[in-house]
Amino acid sequence: MVFGEWTKDMLDRIKTSGYKAICITVDTASYSNRERPLLSRWVPMSQRNPPDPVWQASVTWETIERIRDYVDLPLMIKRGWDRGRCGYMHRTWRRCSMGV
């Protein structure tokens, strides 16, 4: 199940940590293999007891809606083709938030 206890636990951690929004990247269906973590054998807490690997590739719009409703925070979805636009939006937001 995509929206199970593991997902709820992660969302609860986000809420209690004081985050103001969530960004979900949906342009990749699995975790990346970065060299530095592989060399140091570091495993992030969220992957130490990972859910079924099918979870990563099975997120749907229904899943996104359930996450949005559960966490009640602003939610941003980042897709692969948004890559350049997200950088532009970030720069624009920084200028606006800094009064520039």
Domain residues of the chain, as ranges? 5-97
pLDDT band at 92, cuts 50/70/90?
very low
Burial class (CB in 10 A: 0-12, 13-18, 19+), 91: exposed
Condensed to tens digits (0 to 9), the pLDDT of residues 24-80 reads: 877 655 555 666 666 676 666 556 665 555 555 567 788 888 888 898 888 888 766
The predicted pLDDT at position 96 comes to 44
Q: Which residues contact 56 (CB under 8 A, 6 or more apart)?
A: 29, 30, 31
Q: Which one has a higher pLDDT value, 39 or 5?
A: 5
* Three-state secondary structure readout of 80-95: HHHHHHHHHHHHHHHH
The predicted pLDDT at position 61 comes to 81
